[in-house]
Amino acid sequence: MNVKSIFLASALTMTLMTTGTAMAARDTISIVGSSTVYPFSTAVAEQFGKTGNFKTPKIESTGTGGGFKLFCGGVGVEFPDMTNASRAIKDSEKEKCVANGVKEIVEVKVGYDGIAIANAKTAAPLKLTRKELFMALAKEVPDPAKEGQLIANPYKTWKEINPELPDAAIEVLGPPPTSGTRDAFVEMVMVTGAEEFDFIKAMAKSDKDKFKAVSETVREDGAFIEAGENDNLIVQKLQANPKALGIFGFSFLDQNADKVQGSAIEGEVPTFEAISAGKYPVSRPLFFYVKKAHVDVIPGIKEFVAEFTNEKAWGPEGYLADKGLIPMPDAERKQVAEDVAAMKTL
């Protein structure tokens, strides 16, 4: 009967699988980490896989924090060899790595990413400051009537914040708290914006927790809309609603230049040149980290790092620039490339 044959086949696969468990070495590089670095890392991986003698590395987009968690899990084929990060490794993560036997880590800074605050091309371009963005998006803002007092954010339109801004309702689409872009936005825009107010800045010394709560908490009354991790979705929504602003990575602005435009922040429009020159204020460095213990065990790690730090890839004319990565200045690139070639650990 066919019932019997099905049972037989399943028994066979069961045994096959249990014997197949004893997997020895791995010949594919395994990379995890930030979704911001993912497009660049994958581009390098593809180039590396197609031109070299190695398999194409496998890259998972787990987010920076999730990447470190996996990366610091230990040494061995079941743990990733590299992790991408849209911020430098934290001390707590380093400690965790060391606790799990990952003692030698090579840090590779690869370039910068800008965060654009953009609106649809059909609307007028905006000129904003980080202070204004803080006032528009924080949950609690300084009371204009009473010096040194915080009140629930009363602003409904941009004009209420600055008479030069348009009389349009505040409506900002941004990524959820799980996203690295959101972290970077909060850190570079909200916190800096909050520090413009002296009494809030003073809080940073007197009451750290309060400062954190005030500067990092985004308003929840509907003016800030969490639009999900998908930046394409934010671009689409901006097109449909010209009054709204959106927060996303520079590469999406670059790819959708016909649909959306970046607002000037403190007089600087997010362009390739401005970010590269360090003029655009909302930009952050991107990194990846290599587990030194894996370098000669998993084939191709050195070569992959060399491919990434090659001028052809990360240089101003390289293919990563086409993907939206903003290269570091020449001197810095040279320095990092040297350190990496020597596998200089943290």
Partner 1 sequence: MNNSKQTVDKAAEKKKPMKPFSVHMNKDLQRRYRAEKWFQRSGIAAIVIALSFLLVLFASIIGSGYTAFRQTFVELDVHFNQDLFKNENIAAADYPAMIKDSLRRTFPEVKERRELKSLYMIVSPGAAFSLQDMIKENPRLIGTQQKVWVPANDDVDMLVKGQMKASEAEDNRRIKDDQLAWIEKLEKDGRLETRFNTTFFTSGDSREPELAGIWGAVKGSFYSLLITFLLSFPIGVAAAVYLEEFAPKNFWTDLIEVNINNLAAVPSIIFGLLGLAIFINFWGLPRSTPLVGGLVLTLMTLPVIIIAGRASLKSVPPSIREAALGIGASKMQMVTHHVLPLAMPGMLTGAIIGMARALGDTAPLLMIGMVAFIVDIPGGFTDAATALPVQIYLWADSAERAFTEKTSAAIIILLVFLICMNAAAVILRKKFETKW
- Member of 37, 43, 126, 135 binding partner 1 (CB under 8 A): 43
Task: Rule CB under 8 A: say whether 94 interacts with partner 1.
Answer: no
Q: What does the DSSP 8-state code read for residue 139?
A: S
Q: How many angstroms separate the CA atoms of 327 and 307, rounded?
A: 15
Q: What does the DSSP 8-state code read for residue 138?
A: B
Select 8 or 213, whichever has its Cβ closest to partner 1. Answer: 8
Closest approach of partner 1 to the CB of residue 260, in Å? 10
Q: How many angstroms separate the CA atoms of 185 and 139, rounded?
A: 15
Q: One symbol per residue from 305 to 334: x for binding partner 1 (CB under 8 A), - otherwise; what is it?
A: ------------x-x--xxx----------
2-10, 93-101, 151-159, 298-306 -> range binding partner 1 (CB under 8 A): 2-10
Task: Rule CB under 8 A: say whether 25 interacts with partner 1.
Answer: no
Q: How many residues bind partner 1 (CB under 8 A)?
A: 55
Q: How far is CA 196 from the centre of its chain?
A: 25
Return the amino acid letter for 279: K
38-46, 83-91, 147-155, 170-178 -> range binding partner 1 (CB under 8 A): 38-46
Q: How many angstroms separate the CA atoms of 170 and 168, rounded?
A: 6
- Member of 78, 143, 220, 273 binding partner 1 (CB under 8 A): 78
In the structure encoding, which two tokens stand for residue 91, read together?
């001390």
In the structure encoding, which two tokens stand for residue 303, read together?
């070569």
Task: Rule CB under 8 A: say whether 258 interacts with partner 1.
Answer: yes
Give residues with Cβ within 8 angstroms of 168, minimum separation 6. Answer: 157, 158, 159, 243
Select 35 or 192, whichever has its Cβ closest to partner 1. Answer: 35
Task: Rule CB under 8 A: say whether 72 interacts with partner 1.
Answer: no
Q: Are 25 and 77 in contact (CB under 8 A)?
A: yes
Return the amino acid letter for 142: P
Task: Rule CB under 8 A: say whether 92 interacts with partner 1.
Answer: no
32-40, 130-138, 144-152, 211-219 -> range binding partner 1 (CB under 8 A): 32-40
- Residue matched to tokens 């953009």: 118
Select 57 or 142, whichever has its Cβ closest to partner 1. Answer: 57
* Integer CA distances (angstroms), 42 to 34, 39, 49, 59, 216, in order: 12, 5, 10, 7, 32
Q: What does the DSSP 8-state code read for residue 293?
A: G
Interface residue list for partner 1 (CB under 8 A):
1, 3, 6-7, 9-10, 13-14, 17, 20-21, 23, 26, 28, 30, 32, 35, 38-39, 41-43, 45-47, 49-53, 55-56, 58-61, 78, 121, 229-232, 249, 251-252, 254-258, 317, 319, 322-324
